[in-house]
Chains A and B, each alone.
Chain A
Amino acid sequence: MSVSVDRDQAFLDTVRRVADELAGPNADSVDREARFPIETIEGLRAEGALSAFIPTELGGGGVAFETIAAACFELGRRCGASAMVYAMHQIQVISIVRHLDDAPWFEDYLRTVSREQRLIASVTSELGTGGDMGRSVAAVTPAEGGACTFEKQAPTVSYGAYADDLFVTLRRAPDAEPSDQVVALARKEQLELEPTGTWDPLGMRGTCSPGYVVRATIAPEQVLATPFPRVSSESMVPVSHILWSHLWLGISTDAFDRARAFVRAAAKRSPGETPPVAVRLSHLMSELSLLRAEVSSALAEFVEASDEPGRERLTTMASALRFNNLKIAASEQAPRVCQGALGVCGIMGFKNDTPFSVGRHLRDTMSACLMVANERIHQTNASLLLIAKDV
């Protein structure tokens, strides 16, 4: 991936401004009301940030993957839910860009995303699969006039009500095995969403992720030719884990910054003395730096492997283990840092209306270990470890 420094820097400056001016000021109300972070997403739309990763020849911004990851970090520092919505949208865009194989329908679609700044949500989880993304129940089903239909029972669809289009995993055909999956892009006008649940969770409240029954009629060209297992191992899984980790790092960094501000305020009240709580801040810094190191080394490895011809390294078990480990480590470390920040700030951090409040940070990062449950990832790793050699 080539990084155009000026273009990428300008994009990042823009995202930082949206984060400071729109995501931050609305973060508390988004959290309190469990409402979609519309201000942030509209702000990003206005700046063309939804097509940032799409190549310039398809009308997009052409920025590098590293820059998208940095954008998730910046948004995460101001509003975890805004960052998660942006990250999830980018996961769909990046998966399509990396696997479209010159398919005309998908090229046209990406031009439309660039022009209309369409927001894409994903429908990967499904009832009846035990939380295994590598299996589907719903199938691409041939219908009249050469069209295809499907009906999928999704326990959660993040920002489903606000998305323009859905990226949906399905079995290849009605008689296909559960693991014989493809991924299809269904546009809003082809979709029917029937809500099946409510949304009043502990954290990441602005992602608005209730369950739905998703029904659609699409054209066969809207199914990506690359089989989903390849899209998943080469792109969707590592990209998800990297972008999520960046925004969890962003949330944790803001919690740390609030703890540091608290310690500085204490120091100003008693000049000449280092406040006792400053030592706790030092402990917290070492926890944060562990998280930062894991996130940045995983990013560097992914970018390097993506630049290799054929991206073969990303299809190995060693690679699956690598990016699974990132998910597990980052999702456990982020709430640990936020809880540490709460320990530094004490009651001032526990209260929801002080400059040192870190309750939202803690609650938001507690969702991390559930987004593809860590225990399920451990089960996969345990199986891979039986055969992988150099991990």
Chain B
Amino acid sequence: MTEEIRKIVADHARLSIDAAGLAADADLYQAGMTSHASVNVMLALEDHFDVEFPDRMLTRDVFESIAAIERALGELRGSTVS
């Protein structure tokens, strides 16, 4: 899943650096992702993973790194299974 997220980040976050070399816990905002770009990342994630982020998860922190996004997706998918 990490690589799928990385691909989405590379395509939509408009980072000033190459997402391929980004650590999973690197701060995407510090890497140049604007709030506007983060919305596009969220939309692409919802589309790709066929999920909907509820409003409580639509915060800056949840999308601040690839690892944080992976945790959020894990939480969402876990809750749909149970």
**Chain A residues with a Cβ under 8 A of chain B:** 134-135, 172, 176-180, 229-230, 233, 312-313, 315-318, 380, 383-384, 386-390
Contacts and interface: CB of A to CB of B under 8 A. Distances in A.
25 contacts: A172-B30, A176-B30, A177-B31, A177-B32, A179-B29, A179-B32, A179-B35, A180-B29, A180-B30, A180-B32, A229-B35, A230-B60, A233-B60, A313-B56, A316-B55, A316-B58, A380-B35, A383-B36, A383-B39, A386-B43, A387-B39, A387-B43, A387-B46, A389-B53, A389-B54
Given A134-B34, A317-B58, 18 more contacts: A135-B34, A177-B16, A177-B30, A179-B29, A180-B32, A229-B35, A230-B60, A233-B60, A313-B56, A318-B55, A318-B58, A380-B35, A380-B36, A386-B39, A387-B53, A388-B55, A388-B58, A389-B58
Most buried by B among A313, A386, A389: A389
B36 A315 contact: no
B28 to A, nearest CB: 10
A383 B34 CA distance: 12
Nearest to A391: B55
Interface in B56-76: 56, 58-61
Nearest to B42: A387
A177 B26 CA distance: 14
Interface size class of B (residues with CB under 8 A): 20 to 34
Most buried by A among B36, B53, B61: B36
Contacts of B30: 172, 176-177, 180
A12 B26 CA distance: 48
A267 B16 CA distance: 68
Contacts of A317: 55, 58-59
A282 to B, nearest CB: 39
Nearest to B36: A383
Main secondary structure of the interface of B (DSSP, over half): loop
A206 to B, nearest CB: 34
Contacts of A134: 34-35
A389 B29 contact: no
B25 interface: no
Contacts of A390: 55
Query: Which 8 pairs between the two chains have the least Cβ-Cβ distance?
Result: A177-B32, A315-B59, A317-B58, A318-B55, A387-B42, A180-B30, A383-B39, A390-B55
B33 interface: yes
A229 B29 contact: yes
B39 A384 contact: yes
A178 B16 CA distance: 11
Contacts of B43: 386-387
A242 to B, nearest CB: 20
A176 B16 CA distance: 10
B52 interface: yes
Contacts of A135: 34
B56 A312 contact: yes
A338 to B, nearest CB: 33
Nearest to A385: B39
Nearest to B35: A134
Contacts of A229: 29, 35, 60
B76 to A, nearest CB: 13
A289 to B, nearest CB: 29
B26 to A, nearest CB: 12
A374 B56 CA distance: 26
